[in-house]
Amino acid sequence: MSKERRMRREVHYNKKQKRRGGKWRIVLASLLILVGLALFAVEPIKNQMIRQGTETNTVGNVTREDIVQNQQADVTYDWNDISTLNAATVIGDNLSGVNAEELPVVGGIAIPAVGMNLPIHLGVSNVGMYLGAGTLYPEQKMGESNYPLASHHSVHDDLLFAPLLRVEYGDVIYLTDLENVYAYEIDRIETVPPTAVEVAEPIPEGETPIVTLITCDYDLIDRVIVQGTLIDTVPINEASEEVLDAFEIPTTEAGLG
């Protein structure tokens, strides 16, 4: 075969390969677009399911009797059960029959400064943490020692514990078990590695009780820690209307009507 002929064949082959490569790039780009559109479509569904679940279980929709009963629920405290928040998990669980009303609500957390009002679920569970906050130890009690809570960070800054990235020193965290309201003033905001589990451990006896809130940072790698020191405890029927409004508790249900 002549040199000229070989060159023509090589040119033809290279053109053919370029056409094939171009087609694969188009196919790949199309698939990426379809995946992106699918994620874009299900994201609002996931967010709506989270909002509905948290609203269903806020303390304004349960009773003190419910909380007392739920405190005896059989739950797990295995932190390894928690996976990253994503649309597939939330939507899949809801389609498979997960019912927010069956979660053991043991209280509520509200931070008026950032518009947070979430149910507190007993134990560490994936569903409990994407429909509110979860307790981390079986022996923890509101208003005593360290009361740690964890929940997911969402890209939407009004969902779950995402508002923690907007709190400031001096903001007040309210907890309630519908017997008392516990007020904590924020005095620590810090980002720590996920191995820093000591932030959730009990504090020495005799020290002023604290609350510890834990969520992921923007990159979903490290943990954002928000802690507050107990500054007040009042019976639920003596709580101010401002506090009750933060929990969306009707005054009649709090014994004020």
Of 121, 152, 153, 156, catalytic = 152
Query: What is residue 191's three-state secondary structure?
Result: strand
Pair 171, 224: CB distance under 8 Å: no
Q: Report the C-alpha gap between 118 and 160 in whole angstroms.
A: 7
CB 174 within 8 A of CB 246: yes
Q: Which of helix, strand or coil describes residue 48? A: helix
State how far the Cα of 30 lies from the Cα of 188, in Å rounded to an integer: 47
Q: What is the CA radius of gyration of the chain?
A: 25
* Rounded distance between C-alpha atoms, residue 103 and residue 106, angstroms: 9
| Residue 216 a catalytic site member | yes
Q: Which of 222, 154, 169, 177 is nearest to 69 (CA)?
A: 177
Separation of alpha carbons 183 and 173, rounded Å: 6
User: Residue 221 and residue 47: Cα distance in Å, rounded?
Assistant: 22
Catalytic residue, from 121, 153, 156, 216: name it.
Answer: 216
Specify whether 12 is catalytic. no
Token representation of residue 213: 């809130």
Residues involved in catalysis: 152, 216
